[in-house]
Structures are given as structure tokens and as C-alpha cells.
Amino acid sequence: MGSTKADRDVKQREAELDAWRAERDKLRARRAELQGELKALDLDSPQSVSAALARLGELQAELTGIGALLDPLQTKIEDAETRAAEAREAQRAAELANAEPERDNAINAVAAAVIGLSEALERMDRANRTCQSLGGTARKFRGHAELVRVVRKVKDGLQAEPLPVRPAEVTQRWVVAGEHPNKPGKMTYIRTTEVR
């Protein structure tokens, strides 16, 4: 699956956020380094005072500059975090928008299959009753009664609640294909599907 605009936006926003955070981390590391140097200024002899004073001024100036940058840099990071979160939310919404039709189509396909199976079972029951009324025997398979019960329950549930989207005109039916070639007296069935 190719990269979408939402995916590219997330990568761009997260890259910007990472870059701002990296700059902040560099400044924090430099500040810690300068503070360590400040504490370690050599004042062991009178001759070292003037050199220490000069270096002290340099250190304090750089520390002040870093302090002045950290607050606006933190604001930039917070803005970048907001934009990255918005991009991730847009990506999630786009993925959901793509997933929902697939989910709804799957639900509708299941509903069509259940309805088709229910109709096939009803036809089978009618055909069995007709055969019995004419002196023949009914043909059923192991688990037939349980399947009829479950399919009826599921079909009732489908009819009780509206499907998430209007189903496509899908017709799926199980039809008798003939007697099973390897099992005399057993019938084979095929499912036919028609989509409009």
C-alpha cells in the first residue's frame, strides 16, 4: 500500500518535532557543560583570578544566551507537538474512513450469505416435506437442526437491526448440483453469487 498524504504529513511533522527537540537537547547539554566548567574555574593562585574572571564573563554570557533561547525553543516544541498530534489524528481518521467501507461491505456480505443460506434451508425443508407427502423420504445432514436454529437466530438478529450501509444487491444461493459422485444417495450443493 502506497504512502498517503496523511502518512507523509505525519512523517514531516514528526521530523520537525524531532529536529526541534534535538536542538533543545544540544542547548541543554551545552548548558550542563558550561555549568561544569563554571564550577571548575581555577582560583588556586592570585595569578589565576584575572584569567578566571575573563572566562567567567564568557561562560555567563553564553549561559544567559542559552537561557534566553530555551523558553522560545520550548514553545516551538509544544507547537510542533500539537501539529504532530493533529497530523496523527488526521492519519487515524483517514485510515478509519478507508476501513469502514470494507467493514460494512464485509457485514453486508455476511448478511447476504446468511439470508441465502436461510432461503436454501427453507427450500430444502419444503422439498423434504413434498417428498414425504409423496411417499418418499426426507434427506438431512448431520447438524441440520442445529444449523437451522442458528441461521434462523442470526437472520432474525440481522432483520432486527439495520445494516450499517445499504447492502449491495448481492444474491447468494445454495443450489443442488446433483448426486455426489462418490457418495450414492448424498447430494452436492454449489453456491451461486450474483452482484448488481
Beta strands in the chain (DSSP E): 170-179, 187-195
pLDDT for the residue numbered 155: 87
pLDDT digits (tens, 9 = 90+) for 161-189: 776 655 455 555 555 556 666 666 666 65
Residue 33 has pLDDT above 90, yes or no: yes
pLDDT for the residue numbered 12: 94
124 or 46, higher pLDDT: 124
Please report the DSSP string for 183-194 in residue order.
STT-EEEEEEEE
